[in-house]
Chain A
Amino acid sequence: MTGIAPLARERTSYWRRLDWVLLGSALCLSLLGSLLVWSATRPRLLDAGQDPTSYLRRHLLNLGVGIVIGGLVSLVDYRKLRVYTPIMYVGSCLGLIGVLLVGSTINGAHSWIVLGGGFQLQPSEFAKVALIVGMALLFAERGSREDSRPGADVPLALGLAAVPMAFILLQPDVGTAMVFVFVILGMFAVAGVSGRWFVGLLAAGVLVGVAVVQLHLLQQYQLDRFRAFTNPDQNTQGLAYNITQARIAIGSGGLTGTGLFRGTQTNGKFVPEQQTDFVFTVAGEELGFLGAGAIIVLFGIMLWRALRLAGRSPDVFGRLVAAGVVSWFAFQSFVNIGMTLGIMPVTGLPLPFVSYGGSSMFANWIAVGLLLNVHMRTRDAGSI
């Protein structure tokens, strides 16, 4: 099964071979996100006497750049992508080291490199892409040999993931690390890694968890987040305040919401970090159950297309990339939305495509580009 087609034989067929449903859902999410970011930042900017569209404009710029990058990624033959993979992997590791050296701390995590001009880089977002592509490459290379068993690649794959994860945990950014774990587990499952590994990894995870708690390795803010999650009513200030306010904003939206720009909790700036981690609350309040539910449905469509892609992909690489991206988006959106709904602790993960943030946007669209890339080749394979 090496029926990987060369890049489009005709220029026009590129457009025909795109997965428009997948692309459409990503675009819808991004545009909806733009409106929500606008709504969330408008009152705050007006309050500060600034241009109320400045965040919106920057967000749209990020989106544009993200789409262009994603488009480029979709164009490149993914055999050539393999060539870029080590560069990407090493690049993100260097970025993560850079963060540790010159990064700035925002909301307790040392995750950003300030570029100046109001732009920041969050290398951990790109590390997610690098991890997925790197692991897919690893399993695909070995998987092409008939005699090899996927279990043999597991230590190597774990080692591959361990390096960026270590840097991320040092920031510390537990949320992104959790994404890594979920992506690894998802890709392992699809790669056919033996169940013993899962049991072993699970046991190791529990051990590490116990050790972390016992040795007091968690930062105070991390403990606070967890306490605020388990007991939101005890303290309405601080972190629990975020959770309570998020729930109030969403709950007051009702079935149809207050209408865009008309949410009193949003206009009242009651929910902190509303354009980034808590952007879903804007949808909840202003667009109601119908609008917020639509976001979940759009994620569902996107993940369904990606899973379909994984199932139809003629090669291991494509299948694993799709599975990795699905694991990433599924976990991250669940954690993000779940935390605004009060069923997950606050972890500081953005909502893919919707939250404000350049690095996240670029990484998300690179992922879309990868999926489109795989899709086009899959269609070719199927048609041949």
Chain B
Amino acid sequence: MFGRPTTRLVVLRVLVLSLLATLGARLYYLQVLDNHKLTQTATHQHVREVLLPAPRGAIVDDQGRPLARNRASLVVSVDRGKLTGRSDGGKAVLRRLAPLVRMTPEQLARKITPCAKDVPKPCWNGSPYQPVPVATDTSPQVVLSIVEHQEDFPGVSADTETLREYPGKSLAAHTVGYVGPVTQAELDSAAAAGRTNLHDIDLVGRTGLEKQYDSQLRGQDGVRRVKVDNRGTVMAVDSESAPTSGDTLVTSIDAGVQAVAEKALLDQITQSRATFDYKNGQNFAAPSGAAVVMDPRTGRIIAMASYPSFDPTQFVGGISQSALNSLTSEQSGIPLVSRATQGQFAPGSTFKLVTASAIVMDGQAKLDGRYACPSQMKVGNSIKTNYDNESISGGVDLRQALAKSCDTFFYKFAMDAWHSDQDRLDDGKKVVEEQQKMARAFGFDQQPEIDLPDGQQTDGRIPDRAFKKARWEENKKQYCANAKKGYPDVSDKARRDFLTQIAKENCSDGWRFNIGDSADVAIGQGEITVSPLQLAVAYSAMVNGGKVFEPTIGRAVVDPTGKVVRQITPKLRGKVPVRPEVLQFIRDSLAFGKGLGVSGESAFGGFPLKKVQVGGKTGTAEVFGKQDTSWFASWAPADNSRFVVVGMVEQAGLGSRAAAPLAREIYEGIYGLNGHKAALPGGVPPTKLPRLHVDAPTPTPTPSADHPGPSISSGPSGQPASPSGAAPTPYRSGGDSTTASPSGGPRGFAPLPDGPPASLPEPSPRTRGEPG
């Protein structure tokens, strides 16, 4: 067939040549022409990005004491890849490790098994390439025995991880807030916005300052690119960018005053609950309360307490559903809600600041005029009375009306104002509603714009014609339907008729702002609501010459090197349209210790008013179906006031009964009176930023059973307490306890020398990304 042998060989030659040419061409195609995608795939496969979490910045008080910081926790982790590579699948290792981490080998094995469809919990939810943490807050002894006997514990490592710590426990919990793991939605929106500083291992501020200043507190995570082998074992570090610590937030909160305020609040709650309410026939329920301490000259918040409170530490590392339920349940008083900023309560007579300003400024009342103060007054179709039917014969001037809190005095002006507005309406003119206008000028009926998240501060409500109309428009269908239907579900006929009657009235007249509504507004009753914070802002305006601030907690943002990167100055919202002498007049009318017999002064019996001149206005707000809300809005010193203190205790009776003693205790704590240690000696909040020892490494005391946290010494308040009854952690003053952001990048875990470890290793990196 092939003829001569040499010809036959040609076939073989051509065949061999074409085979080799095929190989060469294919090789050229794969390696030179088409290698881009393959190279990418290779990189994707053998390079892993390991995130080096950036330490979150601390939140410190006005003296640099930490309200939130990081602590190191010794974490024992198991590298599953290394265990499964062993002949027995790592069983022996787990058997040795289990007693050290107080688990059974079976529990341990379950814990490190990656979660899948048919894997029972508890299982490992993270990346299968990431060592699984099996025990946190391990003792150094356990770490030592693991590290020193690595041959017994292959694939087991001990590292430190940083955990968020709230050293004051529940101290200023509502203000400080808490952090939670980032959600996928947040990651997605960050990715959509092109932000790269959010990773799936990150914690994000959920409430309070942690949320408000999250972007400053959160640092920039470092990324370490490592080469891994086919089992995910790290072979070498490719490149590394060090994490940048978050900035520290310096606040104007004074931990000492805060502790005093929380203690005083708890005292009054406890005391109220033990006191019989004659009006109501049972003890005061006193379910909640709040206290706000504000610097009226700067608009800064010095302390803000709310009862009931919670310990944000509960949220560290994930909160259990039952714990979260109890923090949000009605039964436990919804501890997560700050009464100071989110509370909405009728302010009672404390609101007369606004009413008095309004009636003087619109010319209804003269500062030296005398007006009647009868025990009762016919307002519209109903009779309204003074508290306890008191009356002052011969009439009173504005000074007495404020000091004695005469309601009927203010009713008259409110009715006059209402009539004037009705006349304007009849004439086709616009209403003036001087009352409400003045209230808004003082900051009510709108967000105080404190530097807390939007959901954590409320507008409150100042009822007026527009409000009632709007609400009626919204609900009239329902009102009228109910009026038509009657209430067939209600079995009691009398109640059914009553409800039907109300529905009928609401259906036809619900839009009307009655004269009674106007009278209620004048004395802070009815549908009007304010938050304690709003009241503090208003009273600050009164004592500072009319300046309405957007109250502010943050003072400065300090970067890890100690440089102030942002000064936070409270914004001035505006000035109240009240002449300074009118404000002065109101202030003087309410000064204690001047023989004016100001209501609430009784609570300051034995208080050295000569030393610390306090002024204040009580409020006792009636709430339908509940006991009275006790209010007290105060300031000190009387002139050139440094502090505005607003106290509120829900269902605790007269303002002078609970709220005024609450404020008194706070003043005593601030100034160091009556056996209290001065939280702010001299009664002056610090004007300078505290020194932050940022260069010094964060003291990370060895956690152990005996010393679970930082060392504790007696705090400046001297009387540690917290609303939850547990002693709060007082602070060691001085720099060395000041939390600065931990510096430096991660290191490996070197075997510890003999004796206790001198320093702890840096946070362990966590792996991001899945295999390709």
Contact = CB atoms under 8 A, between A and B. Distances in A.
B575 interface: no
A249 B46 CA distance: 11
Interface in B611-632: none
B9 A268 contact: no
B736 interface: no
B45 interface: yes
Contact of A251 (B17, B20, B42, B229): B42
A268 B39 contact: no
Contact of B1 (A194, A255, A269, A310): A194
Contacts of B23: 296, 333-334, 337-338, 341
Contacts of B228: 268
A209 interface: no
Interface residues of A, number: 51
Interface stretch (B30-38, B598-606, B723-731): B30-38
Contact of B42 (A198, A252, A311, A343): A252
A299 interface: yes
Interface in A323-341: 323, 326-327, 330-331, 333-334, 337-338, 341
DSSP majority for the A interface? helix
Interface stretch (A80-88, A100-108, A285-293): A285-293
Interface in A167-220: 186, 189-195, 198
A251 B534 CA distance: 68
B424 interface: no
B27 interface: yes
Given A268-B235, A292-B27, A249 B42 contact: yes
B154 to A, nearest CB: 11
Interface size grouping (class) on chain B: 35 or more
A71 interface: no
Nearest to A151: B1
B230 interface: yes
A343 B39 contact: no
B76 to A, nearest CB: 24
B42 A269 contact: no
B696 interface: no
A99 interface: no
A247 B31 contact: no
B11 interface: yes
A248 B20 contact: no
B321 interface: no
A123 interface: no
B494 interface: no
Given A189-B11, A251-B35, A289-B27, A330 B230 contact: no
Contacts of B227: 264, 267-268
Nearest to A246: B30
B676 to A, nearest CB: 67
A354 interface: no
B12 A189 contact: yes
A293 B24 contact: yes
Contacts of A341: 23, 26-27, 30
Given A248-B42, A265-B46, A289 B31 contact: yes
Interface in A37-94: 43, 47
Given A252-B43, A268-B229, A311-B6, 13 more contacts: A190-B9, A190-B12, A249-B42, A250-B38, A251-B35, A252-B39, A254-B31, A268-B230, A289-B31, A296-B24, A307-B16, A334-B20, A338-B23
Interface of A: 43, 47, 186, 189-195, 198, 247-255, 264-265, 267-270, 284, 288-289, 292-293, 296, 299-300, 303, 307, 310-311, 319, 323, 326-327, 330-331, 333-334, 337-338, 341-343
Interface of B: 1-3, 5-6, 8-9, 11-13, 15-17, 19-20, 22-24, 26-28, 30-32, 34-35, 37-39, 41-43, 45-47, 227-231, 235
